[in-house]
Amino acid sequence: MPSFTNISVSTKTSDAAVKSAKGWVMWIAVSAAATGGAFQINDSTDDSGTDKLDITVAANTTMFMDFTSAPIECRSGIYADIPGTNLKVNVGYV
């Protein structure tokens, strides 16, 4: 595994590319509004890739997922699929 010295952060509230090339997801922080919601992290540059994560978040909660000891590799790109507007998803990646 490569050595990581600088992690970028992308904040998304709807579907969007996080990185358009190979990358590793190091951590994810999520906050949910009153109704909660779900999101996926895809190995893709658009919404057609393979889901690497599929998470449901309860209403009025926050969540932090740390993958630094085993980063999630995305070979094509990192895409955040966030249907709806109830979540704020922060992705730490390289």
What does the domain layout of the chain look like in residue ranges? 8-93
Q: Is the pLDDT of residue 84 over 70?
A: yes
Q: What per-residue confidence (pLDDT) applies to 3?
A: 60
DSSP 54-92: EEEE-TT-EEEEE-TTS-EEESS-EEEE--SSSEEEEEE
Kindly tell me the burial class for residue 52, based on how many C-beta atoms sit within 10 Å of its own C-beta (0-12, 13-18, 19 or more): middle
- Residues 90 and 16 sit within 8 Å (Cβ to Cβ): no
- Residues 56 and 28 sit within 8 Å (Cβ to Cβ): no
Predicted model pTM: 0.89
Domain 8-93 in this protein, CATH class: mainly beta
Q: Give 28-77 pLDDT, tens digit per residue.
A: 999 998 888 999 999 999 988 899 999 999 999 999 999 999 999 999 99
Q: What per-residue confidence (pLDDT) applies to 20?
A: 94
